[in-house]
């Protein structure tokens, strides 16, 4: 399993993460990232890693469990 983490203080609301993985990330009414699923299976690694790479604010990251 891979843990998904976010720092809403860094989030600038670009929503690139939502484009890459809409079932894992969302943006709230204040323009901050919301993590919809705190963990994902290894089979989803490339998709959620792409979301992390696409974040210009470096507000999201992955942690191995």
Q: Is the pTM of this model over 0.85?
A: yes
Phi, psi of 26, deg, nearest 5: -145, 170
Sketch out the chain's domains with CATH numbers: 2-64 (3.30.70.20)
Q: Which distant-in-sequence residues (6+ apart) come within 8 Å of 49 by Cβ?
A: 62
Residue 19 is predicted with a pLDDT of: 96
The tens digit of pLDDT for each residue in 3-58 reads: 999 999 999 999 999 999 999 999 999 999 999 999 999 999 999 999 999 999 99
Residue 64 is predicted with a pLDDT of: 83
């Amino acid at each position: 399993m891979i843990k998904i983490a976010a720092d809403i203080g860094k989030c600038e609301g670009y929503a690139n993460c939502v484009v890459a993985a809409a079932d894992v990330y969302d943006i709230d009414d204040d323009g901050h990232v919301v993590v919809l699923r705190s963990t994902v299976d290894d089979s989803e690694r490339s998709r959620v890693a792409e979301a992390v790479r696409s974040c210009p604010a470096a507000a999201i990251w992955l942690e191995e469990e």
